[in-house]
Structure 1
Amino acid sequence: MDYGMKAKLLQHEEEEEEEEEDGDLKRRIWDESKKIWRVALPSIIARVTSFGTLVVTQSFIGHISDIDLAGYALVQTLAIRFINGLLVGMSSATETLCGQSFGAGQHHMMGIHLQRSWVIDLITITILLPILIFGTQIFKLLGEEESIANSGGYISLWFIPFIYNYVFSLTIQMYLQAQVKNMIIAWLATFQFFIHILLSILFVHKLNMGVAGAMIALSTTSWLLVIGEFIYIFGGWCPHSWKGFTIAAFKDLVPAVKLSISSGVMVCLEFWYNAVLVLLAGYTEDAGVAISAFSICLNINMWEFTISLAFLGAACVRVANELGRGNAKAVRFSVDVLLGTSIAIGVFFFVLCLVFRRKLAYLFTDDVRVADTVSDLSLLLSFSVLLNSIYPILSGVAIGAGMQATVAVINLVSYYLIGIPFGALLGYTTSLQVKGIWIGMIGGIVAQTITLVYMIIWRTNWDDEVKKVSERLGKFYLKSDGNYEQLSN
């Protein structure tokens, strides 16, 4: 065989190997995508519809009066986001522990982690009640206009029965998500959303109950979701992970509290970031218009962000499961697929926000000034939506690996030492006003994103993380013999 023939044979063999590798990569991406979407799709449906109830309530109140729209925006964006951010963060500890326990085959521990989270979150939310009870006084102390502060204080009282649903709804979603059983939450949340619209129409328009009617509809439907989740868990659909109530949930609370606090600080710093910026908007000229417009944009951004939160949850589950199994290589591959999928979705919504611009505002208000301001902010809204497709995924990876404390420091520096001062500088010393505040917000997110990319993608040694997870699971492990005897300290 001459040299030319050998060269052709070698080239043919190389091409076949490349095709096999390419085919294998496509198969791996497809398999990983299916695992991601099994978690993400139900979570997207659940989060979009659940948060949608708040958006629908804002829409109904916005057509009652402009003052009540600003008051609701103040409460929801400041007080409720403050509380929700802390609870979401603390509940993410449940996501970490349940995901890693599921990956390690310690299914019975998941029910114990869930009950521990109920105890911790119930105490936390009760401590936070004065924020809603003294809403009017707090808003006035913060320098908000008296009419807006009074409206906000009245609405904040109606939020009290609503916020207690977070104790159960957030933690149960993460508990079910860790074992890929969250489709039930998607169905329940969708049912909740449509019932909420019907009840809002009944109470606000048919019975003319105004703001009170809108808030009663919100609280009622939020608890319908929780009741449905209880029926699913207690009814025997989680036989391996739910073994009934146990006194073991009150044991070893200190390590769980530590992880919950670090998780809470990490996530709530992100949620509170937007809240602080709305507060800053309240000090600009024509504060009512500024707060309403900013809140509408942030609610649209947050509604799209719920999709990113679904991928955050998928990232947490996939990373936690694979770390629990001890598969560092699978973790790295999953992160790559998650980022690629999420960024593609982010580009789609980026274009969507640019196309609809002004029309978005009229879903919430009839005020032309507010609509004009929203339209003016639409470009910044689009960029915020695009960034939503990156940093939540990296945060989800960090939660799955138990790196919450590190990310909390990154969030603190990026948001509160860079973003807010930069936004305040542009908002108050230039003619940009609200737009300047939002540019500062985006600056903080960009700083956070760059840091997380460096930390998660380039710096983290996933083989070392596998060892850390093994040690953590050993620390929390209890026997499943009914006595729940602790094996290690």
Structure 2
Amino acid sequence: MASKPSIEKPLLANKHGGMQPPSNGSGDLSEFDDAPVVTSFGDAWEAFSRESRKLWAITVPIGFSILCLYGINSASQIFAGHLGNLQLSAVAIGLSVISNFSFGFLLGMGSALETLCGQAFGAGQVEKLGVYMQRSWIILLASAVLLCPIYIFATPILKLIGQQDDIAVAAGRFSIAIIPQVFALAINFPTQKFLQAQSKVGVLACIGFAAVLLHIALLSLFIYVFRWGILGAAAAFNISQWTVTVSQLVYVFGWCRDGWTGFSWAAFRDLWAFVKLSLASAVMLCLEIWYMMVLVVLTGHLKNAEIAVGSISICMNINGWEGMIFIGINAAISVRVSNELGSGRPRATKHAVVVVVATSLVIGLFFMFVILAARDYFPVLFTSDKEMQQAVTRIAYLLGITMVLNSIQPVISGVAIGGGWQGLVAYINLGCYYIFGLPLGFVLGYVLHWGVRGIWVGMLCGTALQTSILLFIVWRTNWKKEAAQAVSRVRLWAGETNTVS
């Protein structure tokens, strides 16, 4: 199939507030030009300013909505932490290990929709987005059913990987109780990506804010009034997640008539090409999300496991707050890259990538300095136990370094999702994280007896290697070639062709 020339198409506001490209109905957008060439500092600053406005217009509402949704997890741990160290460890393990396992897999499967919807929207094929979303619902709901045994058998699984019996039993009870939210996520993620691809992100921020307020109210009611303990936290978690999902569906069905034209049997056709991309996306993101989850698991084998697991869980919770910001930027750059590639604008794509990497690095450095300055104070938010607070303070410098590395890594992953490179990044993640970083952490932590710090340092080395390789790949990428292949990818993943030109 012949590739289309490099073109520019300005984004126009549609009647629902989203941004969509002009199209003549056939996908022919060749009447427009690409972004201007940068030949001077003035040109560079103009390009930076222009791209920053576009990036933050998407990032702020997405980032805010994701921060609010992460607040649901964080609030659950905070309330559990004030019940006791066992309850904190149980909820932390349930959310950081068991729930994160399914969260990572479903988020990864749903991220295939970012690539396909983003590039299809960039090519002016808005009417296809609803069918793509329905295909993703089918795949993710089936995946959610397959993930349920992990929750049901959480206690023996946690014991098998070395968790203390009392922590494993409590975490297992909590995990079984939060099974309903797995199915909420299976519908939530495709709906979210459907809206993001069209830059209809303001509604996500509003829903997220309402959900976190509801969750805090439910936690207070179920834990302090009804005294349901960690099962009360689980009930609040389920209700809040389903509230988010149902609210998104109401908005899509009622106010997205351009992309949503109703349920269609076409969603059940040509699923295999979509499944393959979904699996590649799932493997890529799971290897990233599970990597830090393993850090929590490995600490369960150390002496004084309750303090070790609790201190790491608190640090991962703080890291997760920053991580949610960069997941927002990840989603935004994925939208920018996929839209520009679908539009055939390689130079604009390159500008977007350069701006987001530079911006993310500055933000990461800022958060590192904040953590180092507040290392004696933030543990108080999570626990009243003095020993736990001191343990967190001792490893806070590693949290700061992690925040810098994690400012770049998820952003580059967003570029990969926008460009459809999930398979390549999955191999890189496997090698850097699990063949290099994880064994190094095990050696430093257990063989050299560095404990929690040794495990964490080794795994940070794996993250640093992965980030360096991805930065090199992005630097060497031929964006003209990527733009020329975008239309072929859309047709392939839609089940319309068997090859990519």
- The alignment status of 1:439 with 2:467, answered yes or no, reads no
Query: In structure 2, what is the equivalent of residue 383 of structure 1?
Result: 401
* SS of aligned partner of 1:129: helix
Amino acid at match of 1:249: A
CA distance in 2, matches of 1:474, 1:146: 51
Whether the 8 Å contact between 2:76 and 2:91 is mirrored in structure 1 is no
Q: State the Cα deviation string for residues 60-87 of structure 1 (Å, max 9, x = none).
A: 1111121121111212111111111111
Whether the 8 Å contact between 1:71 and 1:149 is mirrored in structure 2 is yes
Whether the 8 Å contact between 2:416 and 2:422 is mirrored in structure 1 is yes
Change (3 A) 1:430 1:477: closer
Give how far 1:477 is off.
Answer: 5.2
Query: In structure 2, what is the equivalent of residue 219 of structure 1?
Result: 238
Matches within 5 A, 1:51-66: 51-66=70-85
Give how far 1:20 is off.
Answer: 9.8
Which is greater in Rg?
1
Matches within 5 A, 1:115-194: 115-194=134-213
Whether the 8 Å contact between 1:476 and 1:488 is mirrored in structure 2 is no
CA distance in 1, matches of 2:262, 2:43: 44
- The alignment status of 1:50 with 2:88, answered yes or no, reads no
Amino acid at match of 2:198: Q
- The alignment status of 1:339 with 2:357, answered yes or no, reads yes
Give how far 1:221 is off.
Answer: 1.2
- The alignment status of 1:404 with 2:436, answered yes or no, reads no
* SS of aligned partner of 1:125: helix
Specify which of 93, 96, 105 is matched with residue 112 of structure 2. Answer: 93
Matches within 5 A, 1:317-336: 317-336=335-354
Q: State the Cα deviation string for residues 199-241 of structure 1 (Å, max 9, x = none).
A: 1111111222221212111111111111111110111x21211
Give how far 1:437 is off.
Answer: 0.7
Change (3 A) 1:473 1:383: same
- The alignment status of 1:258 with 2:279, answered yes or no, reads no
* SS of aligned partner of 1:144: coil
Query: In structure 2, what is the equivalent of residue 11 of structure 1?
Result: none
Matches within 5 A, 1:387-466: 387-458=405-476, 460-466=477-483
Give how far 1:487 is off.
Answer: 8.0
Q: State the Cα deviation string for residues 355-411 of structure 1 (Å, max 9, x = none).
A: 111322221111212111111110000010111111111111111010000000000
Give how far 1:181 is off.
Answer: 0.2
Matches within 5 A, 1:246-285: 246-285=264-303
Specify which of 301, 305, 321 is matched with residue 303 of structure 1. Answer: 321
Give how far 1:29 is off.
Answer: 1.8
Kindly report the root-mean-square deviation, in angstroms, between the aligned alpha carbons of the 2 structures: 1.6
Whether the 8 Å contact between 1:342 and 1:390 is mirrored in structure 2 is yes
Query: In structure 1, what is the equivalent of residue 308 of structure 2?
Result: 290
CA distance in 2, matches of 1:370, 1:143: 21
Q: Which runs of 5+ in 1 are unaligned?
A: 1-18, 479-485
Give how far 1:488 is off.
Answer: 7.8
Whether the 8 Å contact between 2:115 and 2:419 is mirrored in structure 1 is yes
- The alignment status of 1:72 with 2:123, answered yes or no, reads no
Give how far 1:467 is off.
Answer: 2.2
* SS of aligned partner of 2:374: helix
Whether the 8 Å contact between 2:274 and 2:494 is mirrored in structure 1 is no
Give how far 1:286 is off.
Answer: 0.5
CA distance in 2, matches of 1:154, 1:65: 16
Amino acid at match of 1:320: S
Amino acid at match of 1:311: I
* TM-score (norm: length of structure 1): 0.92
Change (3 A) 1:488 1:77: closer
CA distance in 2, matches of 1:487, 1:146: 53
Give how far 1:476 is off.
Answer: 4.6
Give how far 1:426 is off.
Answer: 0.7
CA distance in 2, matches of 1:364, 1:161: 26
Q: State the Cα deviation string for residues 262-299 of structure 1 (Å, max 9, x = none).
A: 00000000111011121110001101111111111111
CA distance in 2, matches of 1:192, 1:109: 30
CA distance in 2, matches of 1:313, 1:52: 18
Whether the 8 Å contact between 1:140 and 1:146 is mirrored in structure 2 is yes
* SS of aligned partner of 1:365: coil
Change (3 A) 1:488 1:423: closer
Q: State the Cα deviation string for residues 97-147 of structure 1 (Å, max 9, x = none).
A: 000001000001111111111000000111010000011111112221111
* SS of aligned partner of 1:388: helix
* SS of aligned partner of 2:375: helix
Whether the 8 Å contact between 1:380 and 1:439 is mirrored in structure 2 is yes
Larger helix share, 1 or 2: 1
Give how far 1:430 is off.
Answer: 2.5
CA distance in 2, matches of 1:128, 1:221: 20
CA distance in 1, matches of 2:192, 2:260: 14
Amino acid at match of 1:453: L
* SS of aligned partner of 1:389: helix
Change (3 A) 1:390 1:364: same
* SS of aligned partner of 2:257: coil
Query: In structure 1, what is the equivalent of residue 489 of structure 2?
Result: 472
* TM-score (norm: length of structure 2): 0.90
* SS of aligned partner of 1:358: coil
Q: State the Cα deviation string for residues 410-434 of structure 1 (Å, max 9, x = none).
A: 0000100111101111111224200
Whether the 8 Å contact between 1:162 and 1:218 is mirrored in structure 2 is yes
Percent of pairs with identical residues = 39
Amino acid at match of 1:98: C
